[in-house]
Structure 1
Amino acid sequence: MKIWMSPQTEKHNPSLWRLGAQVIAIVVLAFFLIIAGMKLVYRWNLPQPTSLLVLCLFITALVIFLAYRLGRHNARNLAAFFLDEENRLFAMDFRWVLSCNHRITYHDWKRLQQWTERIRIQKIVPDGAAEILRVENIRENPSDYAVVCQVRRYGRIGRLTLMLMKGYEDEDWLLRELERRRNWDSRLAEDDDRRPLGLAVGALVLGIGALGALFSHPALGYLPQIIYFPALAVVLVGIVMLVSFIVKRHRGE
């Protein structure tokens, strides 16, 4: 039995307190930036509507980025791969244990810690692990691999995207096992020449909304002010489209 876990998970159990402290740190940072930014706006006598809007967008983008990085870091620590004696490859996301509950309590997290500890000691494939039957695509990113594959879980066969974060011990061995399960007629994602239609549409929607909000802002007034908030809604739709497309491309889908 060969088990691949992140170095942190091999040494320490998943910590709810560490995750909570990281989330609180992001919130405190955002609050500090809001206070500091507002003081600078008033001290330098900057145009308040425009300056506060830019400050809000900047802090929102920063919080989303930090939350994304935190989620990716914890995703690496909560994922594991197993190669059993019959040369079957399994994947497990420890968060699947908690997905049955809408509200995760401290006792649920302690149960997860005990569960990961038992896996490390007994060297077993846990119930609920997904057996990787066939790998359709492997896309290498700067800090991870996006693996699109067909899996069997609880007797059902489906399609799943697994994020293999870089840094595992014997990572080359795991990649070789994944490559062995690839389709012979599939291509690497970096050779994929699909037209980024979704990216273009999202950028177009975002651009139209941004121009509408800019020219209808009271500071300019080139367009009726009544379309300002609808234009902001269009900006939000464009951002969601862009983020969705980028995430799917990153995941190799």
Structure 2
Amino acid sequence: MTTVFIAGSISISKLDQLVKERIQKIVDGHLDVVVGDADGADASIQRCLAELRAASVTVYCSGDRPRNNIGDWPIKNIYPKAAPGSRAFYTAKDVEMSRASDYGLMIWDCKSTGTLSNVIELITQQKKSVVFVNKRHEFVTVSDVNSLEMLVSFMSDHARLKADEKIRLSSKISLLAQSTFLMDDDKSRKSAMTPDAALDKGHNNQAANMKLRIALIQAIEAHVKAQGWTQAEAARMLGVTQPRMSDLIRHKTSVFGLESLVNMVEAAGLHIEVRVAA
């Protein structure tokens, strides 16, 4: 059964009629829905689902009790290691919803970094989002870095600056662009390759990915040492568990994905610059 992750900006308390119609199609199609428990768009989405008598809905919340569960649907509790009330604490459930879903329906106010983070997370999992741009009253399909760049072009200069400060938006787009470059290059060469050559190319891409993860781990480790943090302090500051921090210090690259490392870099207040050489 297809599962849809529906979410939106906390500033949006009233859903556009076009969004309501899209949600009705999802309900009429008997698709499963995962939704968050926040005020704003989450609560409005829940209200719409309840009015449509949607049954296949799961409400995700960080911690024990959801802030909103208008339809009294089943609850999926997520227990992050991050400090309660922190950004990392609440976004943990969004990551889990993106993993549980097949695609996303997002309602965006052209500035919310939470909604953008959901779209980016879905892209990294090779899943698309249908984003309703609230102020333009239109849907935009986002499935890759090019469509993401088109989406963020709707942001004001001030909103883009804030997004860079909050979630390092430009750095994330650069990383996605590099990943896309490697995959596109791989696809363009595979048809002319022998099976052995294609296998070698796959190993090279894995090596490039590993090299990037090692560089991020080394940068985080150097920052932790420069700050004089203990492992417990570093774990708290970076929003991870102490065992995971220990894994990083021991350079256990296999347990870290690029997204989690980028999040740690952001939490550390570091900046990422990506250069692609010919």
TM-score by length of 1: 0.31
Q: Name the one with the larger strand percent.
A: 1
More RCO (CA 8 Å, sep 6+)? 1
TM-score, scaled to structure 2: 0.29
